[in-house]
Amino acid sequence: MGGLLEELLLLPLAPARGVAWLAEKIRVQAEEEYAGRQALSDRLAEIERARTAGEISDQDSAELEEQILEELEW
C-alpha cells in the first residue's frame, strides 16, 4: 500500500518527471551520435596518417574514405 500512497503523493510531479526522462533520453542519444562521429573522425585521421607515412596508397586511402562516407549515408 506504501507504493500506491507514494505514487499518489508524487502524481503532481509527473510532468516534471516526464520532462526529466525525455531530457535523459535526448542526452544519451546525443552522446551516442557524438561518439559515432568521433570514431569516424578518428578513422579518417588514421587513414590520412597512414597515407602520409606511405603505409597505404592514395587509391587505397580514397577507397577507405569512400567506405566511411557510405557508412555516414546509411
Report if residue 16 sits inside a domain. Answer: no
CB 40 within 8 A of CB 68: yes
Q: What's the pLDDT at 43? A: 92
Report if residue 1 sits inside a domain. Answer: no
Report if residue 10 sits inside a domain. Answer: no
pLDDT digits (tens, 9 = 90+) for 39-55: 888 999 999 999 999 99
- Total domains present in the chain: 1
Report if residue 65 sits inside a domain. Answer: yes
Rounded to two decimals, the pTM is 0.60
Phi-psi region of 57 (alpha: psi -120 to 50; beta: other; left: phi over 0): beta
Report if residue 34 sits inside a domain. Answer: yes
Which residue reads 603505409 in cell numbers? 55
Q: What's the pLDDT at 74? A: 60
The ranges of the chain with pLDDT < 50 are none
Domain with 42, as residue range(s), is 29-74
Report if residue 50 sits inside a domain. Answer: yes
